[in-house]
Chains A and B, each alone.
Chain A
Amino acid sequence: MKSLTIDQLAEHCEQENGKFSRQQESDPSYCFELLRRALLEDIPQAFSTIYRVYEPIVRRWVYSHSQFNLTDENADYFVSSALSKFYFALRGVKFKQFSYLPQVMNYLKLCAHTAITQYLRDQQRLSTISLDDQEEWKQPAENDPLPNFEEVWGTICKVLPDEEDQLLVDALFIQQMKPTEIAAKYPQRWDSPRAVSVALQRVRRRLRASELLREHAGL
């Protein structure tokens, strides 16, 4: 296996993929070796070959995803995003956690899902604010939590030390739930949407009165 060139591995890998898709017995070792060279050994030509071999498969996954048609993008965008996520997630020693091909393919398929899901999350977040505010508060769509979240949440907890009030802020601002949904989820705390609305009025008054939070909002 190690004596085969990348082009030879690619040819065998594509043949074995063809057998797999026809539900014939197939040998996964060629594809796995190609992936090993691309990700563990970080050989650029090997990754370029992996990209070429698996791009049609990833594209098929993108088209089959139930949320794809909710996006404004074509499949190329998510195929590219999925393969780059795959590369950065598994390159180097991280690849060592995989010992057989189906595991790696599962992860690649996961990357197709996360490419679409992250896109929709970002779109959802942008839709909560006006276009003018979007421009003003432009944030990179990265996977890490927003850098100022801990600070803002810490301030909110100081302004609202009551646990029930914090739960309301979580439900309203973090999860964007409506009073009806909040009452349904926490019936022991609020017995009706009206009770939630009354509590929310009090919470919003106190939040807007906080100098620290107003400063954070640029007011």
Chain B
Amino acid sequence: MTCSSPPPLSEDQLSALIDGDADAETLAHIANCPSCAARLEAARHFEARLTHDLFRADCPPPEKIGEYYLEMLPDAERLKIAAHLQKCVHCQAEMAILTGFMPAENPHPVAQKPKPAQPKRNLLSDLVAVLMPNTPALALRGSDEGPLMATAEDGTTIFLEVMTEVEGFSLMGQIAADDPAHWSGALVEMRQNDAFQGSSFVNEFGSFQLLLVKTEPIDLVITSSSGKRLMLNQIALSS
């Protein structure tokens, strides 16, 4: 494809277009030239990709900055963090917030008004496991339906079943994933009506168990040691 109205736009004119600083002549050219418009799109895509990959890529994680603040780091790491804090405006801002947050707790804390309930949003990294269609509620008193199955978009599948115990019921879970080791040792948190009910850990075989004391729908959050979260929301129980 060649420029329909030569000369083609220069790289600096493309940069001005990306920045929103282009003059009228450049804007008119790009509106009428598919070739230069394609070059602009490629340049925009290129810079967006660099921005995505480089933005704060050399910043230490917030935990490390926190451990630096708490003086928990070995000398070599402490010096590295100190050097980074000298140059990085973003980490300097985070450190300022941390130093305001960490000191002695308010002895008479005022209960904060909670935010109005909002639909739970997840980062792109969170996996939400979705129940198979027409799945009945988890049966508390035995069922021939078999375990409940929910699958996340990466194929990770959770199987859930309720088992009768001497003093009530327990929720048995099993995670099946392409990389089973990833979920070994993961923390499992169970909530009902937004209240924490109990926690457990995924064992080396991918299974976990939690005591059930209420019959409200269950929300499960499973967090791996790398921070990846698998969520299963509003699993209904039936007697």
* B196 nearest CB across to chain A (Å): 5
B-contacting 9-mer, from A1-9, A79-87, A187-195: A79-87
Task: Determine if A128 is an interface residue (Cβ-Cβ < 8 Å).
Answer: yes
Task: Determine if A138 is an interface residue (Cβ-Cβ < 8 Å).
Answer: yes
Q: Are A217 and B50 in contact (CB under 8 A)?
A: yes
Q: Are A110 and B52 in contact (CB under 8 A)?
A: no
Q: Are B114 and A217 in contact (CB under 8 A)?
A: no
Main secondary structure of the interface of B (DSSP, over half): mixed
Q: Which residues on the A side are within 8 Å of B48 (C-beta)?
A: 128-130, 133
Q: Are A218 and B121 in contact (CB under 8 A)?
A: no
Q: Which residues on the A side are within 8 Å of B181 (C-beta)?
A: none
Task: Determine if B228 is an interface residue (Cβ-Cβ < 8 Å).
Answer: yes
Scoring A residues 26 to 51 as 1 if CB is less than 8 Å from chain B, else 0, what string do you get? 00000000000000000010011001
Given A113-B101, A140-B228, verify A88-B187 contact (CB < 8 Å).
yes
Task: Determine if A19 is an interface residue (Cβ-Cβ < 8 Å).
Answer: no
* B51 nearest CB across to chain A (Å): 5
Q: Which residues on the B side are within 8 Å of A97 (C-beta)?
A: 72
Q: CB within 8 A of A117: which of B72, B94, B194? A: B94
Main secondary structure of the interface of A (DSSP, over half): helix
Contacting residues of chain B (101-115) with chain A, CB-CB under 8 angstroms: 101-102, 106-107, 109, 111-112, 114-115
Task: Determine if B198 is an interface residue (Cβ-Cβ < 8 Å).
Answer: yes
Q: Which residues on the B side are within 8 Å of A52 (C-beta)?
A: 196, 198
Task: Determine if A11 is an interface residue (Cβ-Cβ < 8 Å).
Answer: no
A-contacting 9-mer, from B61-69, B159-167, B168-176: B61-69
Q: A67 vs B88: C-alpha distance in the bound complex, in angstroms?
A: 19
Chain B: interface residue count, which band? Answer: 35 or more
Q: Which residues on the A side are within 8 Å of B109 (C-beta)?
A: 60, 64
Contacting residues of chain A (137-159) with chain B, CB-CB under 8 angstroms: 137-146, 148-149, 152-153
Q: Are B100 and A47 in contact (CB under 8 A)?
A: no
* B41 nearest CB across to chain A (Å): 10
Q: Are B124 and A65 in contact (CB under 8 A)?
A: no
Q: Which residues on the A side are within 8 Å of B66 (C-beta)?
A: 110, 113-114
Q: Are B121 and A118 in contact (CB under 8 A)?
A: no
Given A117-B62, A141-B123, A141-B125, verify A176-B51 contact (CB < 8 Å).
yes
Given A72-B118, A106-B102, A213-B50, verify A114-B63 contact (CB < 8 Å).
yes
Task: Determine if A14 is an interface residue (Cβ-Cβ < 8 Å).
Answer: no
Task: Determine if A99 is an interface residue (Cβ-Cβ < 8 Å).
Answer: no
Scoring B residues 187 to 201 as 1 if CB is less than 8 Å from chain A, else 0, what string do you get? 101010010101111
Q: CB within 8 A of A48: which of B43, B123, B198? A: B198
For residue A198, which residue of chain B has the nearest CB? B12
Q: A117 vs B56: C-alpha distance in the bound complex, in angstroms?
A: 13
Task: Determine if A174 is an interface residue (Cβ-Cβ < 8 Å).
Answer: yes
* A131 nearest CB across to chain B (Å): 11
Q: Are B61 and A118 in contact (CB under 8 A)?
A: yes
Q: CB within 8 A of A125: which of B49, B52, B88? A: B52
Q: A108 vs B48: C-alpha distance in the bound complex, in angstroms?
A: 36
Task: Determine if A165 is an interface residue (Cβ-Cβ < 8 Å).
Answer: no
Given A44-B200, A121-B56, A141-B227, verify A113-B62 contact (CB < 8 Å).
yes
Point out residues on A near B: beta carbons under 8 Å: 21, 23, 44, 47-48, 51-52, 55, 60, 63-67, 69, 72-77, 80-81, 83-85, 87-89, 97, 106-107, 109-111, 113-114, 117-119, 121-122, 124-126, 128-130, 133-134, 137-146, 148-149, 152-153, 169, 173-177, 181, 185, 200-201, 204-205, 207-209, 213-214, 216-219
7 contacts between A and B (CB under 8 A): A21-B107, A65-B101, A141-B125, A149-B54, A201-B11, A201-B15, A205-B11
- Closest CB pairs A-B (n = 6): A63-B112, A143-B61, A114-B62, A217-B49, A84-B223, A117-B62
